[in-house]
């Protein structure tokens, strides 16, 4: 996380500017009557853009399920070229889990936070990424030991190869028997 401390008389304008930049504003006061503003931002993980690009190429529909506000989420969605109807906002852990359970078909979820743990466990393939909190690592059946998200794409390619190998072995065993 990256933090920026700001003291200003124009708090509302600064809150708007921070939000528009994808930074979560936090307003605080230290008993003096003056308010200060702190902006906190999560940076995109290494390989996030490439990972999403490859997932889309493979036919996956990609969305994001953060707990952040609309402006911050739109900033991230724009960077990752995710349509706004798939960029959900201000989701609690229970809301994320509900969305995961309602989704039909194959579902791959990638997460790293406490608020992702129940959804990682419920997803068709829950994938925790290194650098995440321990709870998410324990909840997810799959763990990527590298913080680079392109490893997810490598995992999908390897799993397709494994399935082809199993099917081939099954056919050979039927022919042999």
- Six token digits for residue 108: 């791959």
pLDDT above 80 (res 99): yes
- Please give the mean pLDDT across all residues of the chain: 84
- Greater pLDDT, 162 or 36: 162
145/129 Cα distance (integer angstroms):
7
Rg of the Cα atoms in the chain: 20
Residue 43 to residues 2, 21, 33, 48, 59, Cα–Cα distance (Å)? 8, 12, 32, 10, 26
**Percent residues over pLDDT 90 in the chain:** 26
CA angle 10–15–17, rounded 5-degree value:
95
C-alpha distances in Å from residue 155, one per residue of 53, 80, 129: 15, 20, 12
Alpha helices in the chain (DSSP H): 11-20, 48-57, 70-80, 93-102, 117-122, 134-139, 150-176
146: pLDDT confidence band, cut at 50, 70 and 90? Answer: confident
In this predicted structure, the answer to whether residue 22 has a pLDDT above a threshold of 90 is: no
Sheet containing strand 125-129, strands side by side: 108-111, 125-129, 142-144
Q: How far apart are CA 73 and CA 119, in angstroms?
A: 19
- The whole-number average pLDDT for the span 71-84 is 86
> Is residue 8 over pLDDT 50?
no
Tokens representing residue 39 in the block: 């902006």
């Amino acid at each position: 996380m990256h933090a920026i401390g700001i003291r200003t008389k124009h708090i509302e304008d600064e809150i708007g500017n921070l939000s528009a930049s994808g930074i979560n504003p936090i307003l605080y006061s230290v008993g003096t009557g003056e308010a200060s503003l702190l902006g906190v931002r999560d940076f995109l993980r290494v390989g996030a853009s490439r990972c999403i690009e490859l997932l889309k190429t493979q036919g996956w529909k990609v969305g994001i399920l953060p707990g952040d506000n609309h402006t911050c989420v739109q900033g991230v969605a724009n960077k990752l070229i995710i349509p706004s109807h798939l960029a959900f906002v201000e989701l609690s852990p229970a809301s994320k889990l509900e969305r995961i359970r309602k989704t039909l078909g194959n579902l791959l979820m990638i997460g790293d936070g406490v608020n992702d743990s129940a959804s990682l466990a419920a997803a068709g393939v829950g994938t925790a990424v290194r650098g995440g909190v321990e709870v998410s690592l324990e909840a997810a059946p799959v763990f990527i030991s590298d913080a680079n998200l392109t490893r997810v794409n490598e995992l999908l390619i390897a799993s397709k190869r494994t399935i082809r190998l199993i099917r081939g072995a099954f056919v050979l065993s039927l022919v042999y028997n």
